[in-house]
Amino acid sequence: MVEKISKYLQGNLVIWMVIIFLSVLSMLAVYSSTGTLAYKYHGGNTFYFFLKQAILLLIGLGITYTTHLIHYKFFYKISSLLLIISIPLLLLTLMLGTSLNEASRWITLPVIGLTFQTSDLAKLALIMYIAQQLSKKQDRIKEFNETFLPIMIAIVVVCGLIIKADFSTAALLFLTSLILMFIGRINIRHLGGLVLVGVVLVSIFVVIGITSGNTGRIGTWKNRITNFMEDDQEGNYQVEQAKIAIVTGGLFGKGPGNSTQRNFLPHPYSDFIYAIIIEEYGLIGGVIILLLYLFLLYHAGAIVRQSSRTYPAFLVIGLMISLVLQAMINMAVAVNIFPVTGQTLPLVSMGGSSILFTSIAFGIILSVSRTVKEEKLQAEEEARLKMEENTIENESENENNY
């Protein structure tokens, strides 16, 4: 049975199983958290958001499957092009993007009318570009002008274009880039300089926030941090409702579909879906979800250890760190150990472009896993054939001696 599954789902089978499990959990959690909303706004059709999420996840799985069949060398070739495309798209989003809660994060595609977050593409492109540069310049990795400067410029430009509308995404991408560069052996002093640049930029935004009052996105950041630090129950309505969901869930939960806080918690299907999962599946369910993401990171490390080349290793660890950090932040917000950020739970929260780009990221990781396995098998086969040739030659020499 396992061999038949492995024939079609190539690469790391454990990662495939976790992806499928999270997808099934996503449909259950989204159905539970949106039933009332769908009944109210879609003519009593409580399956509306469930069907929408199921279709998105099926498309996502199709994207993952298709992407994992592509050799990772293709991603090496297009990484610079994707970065070049993503920068003007981010600019376009800032100027003409669809605004929600005073944040321009989406652009609407003409004709078809679909929207997507350009930051999702930019995250993928930047990680691919950093992996490419680190791999290409390993022989001069400590040089400032040759190696560090091009990477630093790309990070500052991309994160700078994202930060105004989505501070948490920019900060998460900046942190992921730093970790990837550290793994890639970039000079520590250069990394310290990049951290200093990041601190200066954030400080500027903080000063602007203090002097400008509670207006726009800066006011939103200020209020979220203030509410978190002061534990303001009125200002922290979302977090207080999430706490109630977690506490009433207990150890084993209320059971699938039995959430009551979905009727009081804002955005229970996206930002705070982890709280709904704990309410329905208990602390045990919450811990299992946490372990699944850590399990993904562990198996990404296993792929890196098996890889004989630097680019696929950097690519896998960069993408997986980004996904796992995002998951950790979402869960930390739900249990009130981090300010509200708006980060979704990868592959679980209801969403459009986030699911599709997460699926692409998993597809790339599985592509590397598949290719690494094939290269390993090919190397083993070549070694076996060479050993057989040596054995035949030795036998021939022995016969001649006789």
At residue 57, the pLDDT reads 94
Listed in sequence order, the residues at least 6 apart from 25 whose beta carbon sits closer than 8 Å to its beta carbon are: 277, 289, 348
At residue 88, the pLDDT reads 92
Compute the distance between CA of residue 30 and CA of residue 33 in angstroms, rounded to an integer: 5
Place of tokens 């955005």: 267
Expressed in angstroms, the distance from the first to the final Cα of the chain is: 52
Q: Which residues pair with 117 in a beta bridge?
A: 106
Compute the distance between CA of residue 219 and CA of residue 206 in angstroms, rounded to an integer: 10
Compute the distance between CA of residue 239 and CA of residue 128 in angstroms, rounded to an integer: 35
Secondary structure (3-state) at 261? helix
CA 255 remoteness from chain centre: 28
Compute the distance between CA of residue 102 and CA of residue 166 in angstroms, rounded to an integer: 10
Contact call for residues 212 and 218 (beta carbons, < 8 A): yes
Burial degree of 229 (CB within 10 A; 0-12, 13-18, 19+): exposed
Helix axis angle, 167-183 to 118-136, nearest 10°:
10
| H or E stretch covering 195 | helix 188-212
CA 369 remoteness from chain centre: 17
Contact call for residues 346 and 358 (beta carbons, < 8 A): yes
- Picking from 50, 83, 63, the residue whose alpha carbon sits closest to that of residue 19 is 63
Sheet holding 103-108, edge to edge: 98-100, 103-108, 115-117
| H or E stretch covering 64 | helix 48-68
pLDDT tens digit at each of 402 positions of the chain? 555 666 667 888 999 999 999 999 999 999 988 887 887 777 778 888 899 999 999 999 999 999 999 999 999 999 999 999 999 999 888 877 665 555 566 676 665 556 778 889 999 999 999 999 999 998 888 898 888 999 999 999 999 888 877 888 998 999 999 999 999 999 999 999 888 888 887 777 667 666 665 555 565 666 666 666 665 555 577 888 888 999 999 899 999 888 888 888 888 888 899 999 999 999 999 999 999 999 999 999 999 998 888 999 999 999 999 999 999 999 999 888 888 887 899 999 987 788 999 999 999 999 999 998 888 777 667 777 777 777 766 666 666 655
Compute the distance between CA of residue 170 and CA of residue 163 in angstroms, rounded to an integer: 5
Contact call for residues 306 and 247 (beta carbons, < 8 A): no
Q: Taking the CB of residue 175, how many other CB atoms lie within 10 A of it?
A: 17
Compute the distance between CA of residue 148 and CA of residue 46 in angstroms, rounded to an integer: 52
